[in-house]
Structure 1
């Protein structure tokens, strides 16, 4: 059964959703974007063979790049922005943004949060619910809050 999005109660097939998203400026080399994901900004590029599950959030104040053959679980958040810390009268000052890069072949587990400026190396796995605050080396499993390396992955 093809994935569909409902607009005004009418189903919208995957190909039509892809056309609408690319017309809005997203660079999508895949059509495997499940319904229910939200894109805030145009700076999103998703490589060939990648899959984005339902309910993902792309806060793209800065670019978000997902490589080829990646799997993104449901409810993953790609957060590229934060606020400059201010005094006690107003802690959240100006918005600061930094890009997120996910290398080829990565698996980002359900509900993971990837924060500004993070690069996830090719072939890495981010466990469900992890909060990634710093760069991740290729071919390693990361998990926890904040995420830390758990083990090296082999073939």
Structure 2
């Protein structure tokens, strides 16, 4: 029996690669005891799953630093985030119960789909979601990128 999608899940069909990313982000959020899949969960899963996302960084040492930082977060370094809803201010916060996606994570998935659509593609790729994450300067993923020494403006420029 297939479960219903969460109330604010991305509406567009996902590529096989992005379906794996979403499944990984969901597992990570559940394991970490978080109420929502946030943009840092998406970033972590994108880096682990998608070689094109890893290739988007000009310094491969950045990928190792990012993964190290994200692992620290998952084992307790980011506890200040646990139980707190992510709200970058980019979209309204959903009120009235926990949802599966933080508003910025849902917005990143939708923006990734929009980016793919602008190229004439039906389904987004991991780099589309990475570009959307990097575009939201107030989301947790961008905070993680910055703390790991990634020049986010340069990353945005490279991703176009």
TM-score past 0.5 threshold: no
More helix by share: 2
TM-score where L is the length of structure 1: 0.29
TM-score where L is the length of structure 2: 0.28
The answer to which structure, 1 or 2, has the higher relative contact order (CA under 8 A, 6+ apart) is 2
